[in-house]
Copies of this chain bind each other. A is one copy, B any other.
Amino acid sequence: MALVVQKYGGSSVADAQSIKRVAKRIAATKRAGNEVVVVVSAMGDTTDELLDLAGQITPLPPQRELDILLTSGERISMSLLAMAITNLGVKAKSFTGQQAGLMTDAVHGRARLVDVVPHRIRETVERGQVAIVAGFQGVSSTNDVTTLGRGGSDTTAVALAAGLGADVCEIYTDVDGVFTADPRIVPGARKVDRVTYEEMLELAASGAKVLALRAVEYARRYDVPVHVRSSFSSTTGTLVTGTYGDRIDPNAPDGEQEETPMEAPIISGVAHDRSEAKITVVGVPDKPGTAARIFEVVAGAGANIDMIVQNVSAAHTGLTDISFTLPHGDSPSTLAALNGLQDEIGFASLQYDDQIGKLSLVGAGMKSHPGVSARLFGALRDAGINIEMISTSEIRISVVTREDALDDAVRAIHTAFDLDSADGEAVVYAGSGR
């Protein structure tokens, strides 16, 4: 008997009809002999509607109250789902984050899990019932309701799977899995069958929205196999697991075995991201400690910075420019904090640019294959697209372009690396979903 954790996003439980459909899938999984734990997000646009209500009350809602407000969304979906499953003759019970033992710190709005003690969930499945757990929420040591931030339901699912020792964590969404690029931009994009945690981490960090970054981190740390799949079909989706070795499937039928030569660079896919902006600190005196002070202040403003570029100091002025990217939402507080630093550091000015786009090519073995970056830069040049910033990791190259050039850039790179054909390895971007 396998223990399966299933997570259904908001689009999978958008209305009563969808909830009944999902209930059938859960009941079938249970009747197939599995123990089933389900994590559910709020119905459809509920979270946005609640945020809108809060916005009608005050522009600056206290985060503690916002957490209480938003978690009512999962309370509604989880109880309705438990009713729908019960109505099919399978016993089901719903549990809040607090009842499910999802203990967090007290940082409202983006709490971190500190412990998972799912006694009641274990008891429930051992009694042969389906346990439904509210995603996205936990409880602090002071018995206050917390939320895990965007993507929190994925994290809830993976954390419960780890805490319960589940055999697999299935993430149900409105697309078939992880794709080589966003199919809305690249019509020839293909679903990939397997990716590693590391690739998925880079993809999630690079803008692929199909699986939340924190959930992938958690899955990697506790080695939880994650299956990303569609709640609208029974198609196998994308399996996210431990190592590259997993790509060679000894049980695969003849002809379906992976055929990539061992030493060739494996390109998984192309991710993109429009959610960042660029801040440039212009005319910074080029002396030790200045950059450290700037990023100390930026961190203090709560910004999650991504790429950083520092120009070579112009010899005759002794001044340099420092640019970095960060989420749009973090920009106001960061700009305010930097303004307050101008007298102390003596920089010339701040520039703000929210018309940028980021493209990331992800895959194994890039660093040892210099041809990869050459091919990428060449393809962008041939498409007439200017590169504004570059950053790289072991398995990723990211470039910043003008936002209005981003779609063309994604298509050019997808083609340049033969991802449109059936030969290339694959991975990446996929639709929305918390």
- What residues make up the interface of A, taking CB atoms closer than 8 Å to B? 16, 19-20, 50, 53-54, 56-58, 60-62, 64-66, 68-69, 71-73, 75-76, 78-80, 82-84, 86-87, 93-94, 96, 99, 120, 143-145
Number of copies: 2
Contact of A94 among B50, B53, B65, B83 (CB under 8 A): B65
Q: Chain A: interface secondary structure?
A: helix
A87 to chain B: closest residue by CB: B58
A59 → B minimal CB distance (Å): 8
- In the complex, chain B residues whose CB is within 8 Å of the CB of A72: 72-73, 75-76, 79
In the assembled complex, the Cα of A87 lies from the Cα of B145 at a distance in Å of: 21
> How distant is the Cα of A249 from the Cα of B60 in the complex, in angstroms?
47
Contact in complex: B94, A82 (CB < 8 Å) = no
Minimum Cβ distance to chain B for residue A314 (Å) = 49
For the complex, what is the distance from the CA of A64 to the CA of B82, rounded to whole Å?
10
**Contact A68–B79 (Cβ < 8 Å):** yes
CB neighbours of A87 from chain B (8 A): 57-58, 60
Q: Which residues of B contact A96 (CB under 8 A)?
A: 68, 145
Partner pick for A66 among B79, B120, B143, CB 8 A cutoff: B79
With A57-B19, A57-B20, A75-B75 as given contacts, are A86 and B65 in contact (CB-CB < 8 Å)?
A: yes
Distance A82 CA – B57 CA, assembled complex (angstroms)? 10
Min CB–CB distance A138 → chain B (angstroms): 15
Q: Are B83 and A61 in contact (CB under 8 A)?
A: yes
Known: A64-B93, A65-B94, A99-B143. A83 touches B54 (CB 8 A): yes
Contact B50 A76 (CB under 8 A): yes
A78 to B93, CA, bound (A): 25
A62 to B90 alpha-carbon distance, docked (Å): 12
Contact A69 B80 (CB under 8 A): yes
Residues in chain B near residue A80, CB distance under 8 A: 53-54, 57, 65, 69
Select the residue from A60, A62, A65, A94 with max chain B CB neighbours within 10 A.
Answer: A65
| CB pairs A–B below 8 angstroms (26 shown) | A16-B53, A16-B56, A19-B57, A53-B76, A53-B80, A54-B79, A57-B80, A57-B84, A58-B83, A58-B84, A58-B87, A61-B86, A64-B93, A65-B79, A65-B86, A65-B94, A66-B79, A68-B75, A68-B78, A68-B79, A68-B94, A68-B96, A69-B76, A72-B76, A96-B145, A99-B144
